[in-house]
Chains A and B, each alone.
Chain A
């Protein structure tokens, strides 16, 4: 009989077909969809995040792991919805206005999804108003802003200003992207900064923890 750890390994190593087969086998063996997410997929993507942070794997390995995870979620999400089970947190992500780059943003999006969050990905070239509207619509607790360009760093600053000025209770704003630093995040009043996709998961958990 398939073990949960096999599914964890299949996701972490990006084995799409094995992930699909094991998900089906484990469901047939009586595991619940939520236990597969929490005890196999989330640990699998946590391994990916850790290995990425340690430079043991790189963007291609991360992409195939995320793709394997998505295969499992295609089966599991309808079952979770049918059972009325919702992710604990909804987070919003997007690349700021004027910036069309999305590799980094997509990696964070995958890792947050892999951490069990509901992720609303607004894509690229997102205005401050769109972030805010999405946060209100989805009752999000966290917004992630990405920027690759020095020329769009001012747009990130403006977005943080608009979101903070809206005064939405419990809404946190985090930033990242190649030219972004902790210092810049502090200067523009963001609630956090992550240097890579693995760190972005830790940051989100820290900010969303009940004590926060």
Chain B
């Protein structure tokens, strides 16, 4: 059975060995420092790790490390980055924590005397920076650039600048990317961007040089209540572009892709939701349904929805609008008990995550505690398939490598596969 077979079986809710994902998306990966530590642990060639996602400073899980970790998935990734420069033209950069990493050509940071690091949209340092890595930090956060809001002259088109049709350079990139992963024995996870609605990480538009419209985080949340027509018009435009791009992408991808990452919009906080179920129904559901319906009518792909937090009241809604897969299954949040989730939704939804708590157990527990929790989660989520093992969101910096290895070993032992 290939890795891809394992994943496909789990996606069909059939019992079998539990497939694993480390690093196929920007939501299921590892901080670049953890990648280096794991490469050293497993005795893999020592070279600067490529930063696959510069915003969260995630590192590339190369095939040799994927094999060591037992990962069954590989990403087919888009051309762009969160900072608008393409992920190409690599050069070395010494990160503030001392690690030499490979970053794209457009990654030209400005570092100030206090140790803070700033990144610029499109790599253009003549405009205001859009990313800030504070001294002592391990990844970037968005710098909000909000022009004064004139309620009488708000134009939804201003919040649509980022939604564009795939251009010839994008198409050429995808052709190369699919050539790279075609014939893979691992499951291919991809994503085209622009299919997630109202993702708060994307609202500040770190990739745009002069973002217009509603770009402040609080103002965006306020817009859900006070400017619903504006939000609808943004989502309508975005959905129209996304559907056209999906058709282009599907023609290029064919059956190479197994899973499409649709949306990273977080609907949960640690203890509650970011909006009511009624707001979800009115504002988001119509657009998610269009995207999922198109994919299910035209492709064999399964659709992947990411949302952190206490989202139990919304899970039925996610299923209803056509999502097949839920990530990261934040079991530490209120109402997200693993056994209850499996019992209530396990026959209708694939859990891609939930494998271990990255807020507490993985970074701060002992290897024995990690092993215990991982084994419990495997026992809870794996019966009848419908489970792809992954940590709850990306593995953060400063996570002890012994804990990551304990997790990997626990999965391997559970599956009964030799190291």
B-binding residues in A (CB < 8 A) = 14, 52, 55, 57-61, 63-64, 67, 97-101, 103-104, 106, 125, 149-155, 178-179, 181, 195-196
Contact = CB atoms under 8 A, between A and B. Distances in A.
A151 B397 contact: yes
A151 B398 contact: yes
Given A60-B221, A60-B225, A179-B359, 6 more contacts: A57-B276, A63-B221, A99-B134, A100-B137, A150-B358, A181-B360
A146 to B, nearest CB: 12
Nearest to B309: A178
Given A125-B134, A151-B137, A63 B222 contact: yes
Nearest to B138: A151
Interface stretch (B17-25, B175-183, B265-273, B337-345): B265-273
A97 B115 CA distance: 12
Nearest to A181: B360
Contacts of A103: 217-218
A15 to B, nearest CB: 11
A101 B141 contact: yes
Contact of A97 (B134, B217, B364): B134
A64 B134 contact: no
Interface string B342-361: 00000000000000001110
B330 to A, nearest CB: 10
A98 B134 contact: yes
B121 interface: no
B316 to A, nearest CB: 16
B136 interface: yes
A150 B134 contact: no
Interface in B139-178: 141
Given A59-B221, A103-B217, A151-B397, A178 B270 contact: yes
Closest 9 pairs (CB-CB, A-B): A98-B136, A179-B359, A100-B141, A178-B270, A60-B221, A98-B137, A60-B225, A125-B134, A150-B363
Contact of A55 (B273, B359, B364, B396): B273
Contacts of B218: 63, 103, 106
Nearest to A102: B217
Contacts of A58: 272-276, 279
- Give the bracket for the number of chain B residues in contact with chain A: 20 to 34
29 contacts: A14-B225, A57-B276, A58-B274, A59-B274, A60-B221, A60-B224, A60-B225, A60-B274, A63-B218, A64-B222, A64-B225, A64-B226, A67-B222, A97-B134, A100-B132, A100-B137, A101-B141, A103-B217, A103-B218, A125-B134, A150-B364, A150-B398, A151-B396, A152-B137, A178-B269, A181-B360, A195-B270, A196-B271, A196-B272
Contacts of A97: 134, 136
Nearest to A199: B271
Contacts of A106: 218
B135 interface: yes
A155 B269 contact: no
Interface in B242-289: 269-276, 279
Contacts of B358: 150
A195 B273 CA distance: 14
Contacts of A98: 134-137
A195 B276 CA distance: 19
Contacts of B279: 58, 60
B81 to A, nearest CB: 19
A104 B363 CA distance: 22
Given A64-B225, A103-B218, A59 B275 contact: yes
Contacts of A59: 221, 269, 274-275
A52 B270 CA distance: 13
Contacts of A100: 132, 134, 137, 141
A105 B218 CA distance: 12
Nearest to B363: A150
A88 B377 CA distance: 49
Interface string B81-115: 00000000000000000000000000000000000
A64 B223 CA distance: 10
Contacts of B313: 55
Q: Which of A67, A103, A178 has the most CB of B within 10 A?
A: A178
A195 B271 contact: yes
A60 B225 CA distance: 7
